[in-house]
Amino acid sequence: MADSNFIDYVKILCRSGKGGAGSRHFYRAKYVPKGGPDGGDGGRGGHIILRGNSHMWTLLPLKYNRHVFAGNGQSGSGGRSFGKDGDDVIIDVPCGTVVFDAETGQYLAEVTYDGQELKLLRGGRGGLGNWHFKSSTNRTPRYAQPGEPAIEKSIILELKVLADVGLVGFPNAGKSTLLSAVSAAKPKIADYPFTTMEPQLGIVSYRDNRSFVMADIPGIIEGASEGKGLGLRFLRHIERNAVLLFMVPADADDIAKEYEILLNELAQFNPQLLDKHRILAISKSDMLDDELIEEIKKTLPDGIPHVFISSVTGQGITELKDVLWRAITDDSNRITASDAAHRDLDERHRVREEDEFIFQYVPTPEEEEAEAEDLQEISPDAWGEDFDYDDAEFDYGVNDPEDTEEKN
């Protein structure tokens, strides 16, 4: 995954803008020696805003731009002049992006549709100028309000692809072959495990110009919840699916056992996935005759709709589309996003290499100003006497030929 352009998990550091300070100013003009306070308010700091973008499919741009800082508000000035607001920073993310607090793992927000904007971090409010504080008893307020400080937070962005049907199965179960047969998607297909290394999406055409989206994720194996194989990293992409299509090949030793193993791995990742509608597809059924199909039906789990399919010959594909469409449009299968997608981020769902990423320290504007003031306060005498470079002797690590001859 290091060389892939598909990035679905990234950690970034965000800092909103600091509010500008209010002005402590008094009006002065010819023949008006005591004009009264007229200090303006400071400008607000810039916001950090997330915006959904339907043309994006990966979080790759943020992997190389991990520091996102908004502009600070400017201070107010005389004549009740307000300071300029800080520049907002808009982060474009793919639809289906979920935001978590990197420190606690708490769910913060999600972006689900194109053009949706969410204020991730609010900029500090500008301080009030001294003209706000004048009263009948205080005609010359010699103070103003400082701006609110900036908010800094490290967050985790997690992308969950939006699809109607999610394919779940062991490696080499025929998931990618099915996706290529029912849609225009061209996933990589080969005769070895873990051919699919990243999620693939395909639009499946149905009757009367209708369609639905199918998602293929890398295969999972027994013990994936403990980190075996590719682990459970990509199961986040089926948390938003309305229907889960379990695929078990017809040549499996025990179809019911493999189905239970897959179901257990989903429960280890997120128990709420078991509330979704499930359909069992027995792939590679072109190897079976009618007698074997009847024998296998007796061993299948009860209460789960099943379809025998073959992506190569097209057997059962039309029937599978009908079953999937009925499940997608079933009102009893409407699961709100909060049921499965709004879980907090615990250790099982984290990506270690991203969580261990150490941000380069970037000083705040206040720290930069304080450092500049410290340098200005240093007098020339503090640097000592002038250094005479002409009389100085330097050792460059190269032997002088004359010294070498004298030593010899």
pLDDT in tens, 65-105: 889 999 999 999 888 889 999 999 999 999 888 899 888 88
Query: Average of pLDDT values for 276-280?
Result: 88
pLDDT at position 229 is 58
365 pLDDT tier (thresholds 50, 70, 90) = low
Judged against a pLDDT cut of 60, whether residue 369 lies above it is answered with yes
Where does 165-344 sit in CATH, by number? 3.40.50.300
Sheet harboring 48-53: ordered strands across? Answer: 89-94, 48-53, 117-121
Domain ranges of the chain: 9-159, 165-344
**Nearest partner of 179 among 193, 171, 191, 189, judged by Cα:** 189
What is residue 224's predicted lDDT score, i.e. its pLDDT?
Answer: 66
Q: For 134-156, b where at least 16 C-beta lie within 10 A, e where not — what string?
A: eeeeeeebeebbbbbebbebbbb
Per-residue burial over 353-370, b = 16 or more CB atoms within 10 Å of its CB, e = otherwise: ebeebeeeeeeeeeeeee
Closest CA to 120 of 60, 19, 73, 51: 51
- Only one residue has tokens 């941000």, namely 359
- Residues in the chain, overall count: 408
pLDDT at 352 over 70: no
If one compares 136 and 88, the residue with the highest pLDDT of the two is: 88
Nearest to 350 by CA among 11, 14, 26: 11
189-231, pLDDT tens digit by residue?
766 656 666 778 888 888 888 888 888 887 787 766 666 655 5
Calpha distance 258→246 (Å, rounded) = 10
Tell me: pLDDT of 42 over 80: yes
The identity of residue 139, as a single letter, is R
Mean pLDDT of the chain: 79
Give the model's confidence band at 397: pLDDT under 50 very low, under 70 low, under 90 confident, else very high: very low
21: amino acid identity, one letter? A
Indicate if the pLDDT at residue 400 is higher than 70.
no
pLDDT tens digits for range 114-125:
999 999 999 999
pTM for the model stands at: 0.70
Confidence label for 341 from pLDDT (cuts 50, 70 and 90): low
What is the C-alpha to C-alpha distance for residues 29 and 290, in angstroms, rounded to an integer? 102
pLDDT in tens, 256-275: 888 888 888 888 877 888 88
Please check whether residue 228 is in contact with residue 268, taking contact to mean a CB–CB distance below 8 angstroms. Answer: no
Q: What is the pLDDT of residue 216?
A: 84
For residue 385, pLDDT beyond 50:
no
Q: For the residues 48-66, what does the mean pLDDT come to?
A: 89
CB 57 within 8 A of CB 121: no
What integer pLDDT is reported at residue 401 of this predicted model?
46
What's residue 239's pLDDT? 79
What's the topology of domain 9-159? Spo0b-associated Gtp-binding Protein; Chain: A, (2.70.210)
**What is the structure's pLDDT at 33?**
79
For the segment 270-293, the average pLDDT, to the nearest whole number, is 85
Q: Does residue 195 come out as left (phi exceeding 0), alpha (psi in the -120 to 50 range) or beta?
A: alpha
The pLDDT value given to residue 399? 47
The residue ranking higher by pLDDT, 397 or 169, is: 169
Q: Is the pLDDT of residue 338 over 60?
A: no
Which of 23-27, 68-72, 285-289, 325-329 is the least confident region? 285-289
Q: Tell me: pLDDT of 386 over 50.
A: no
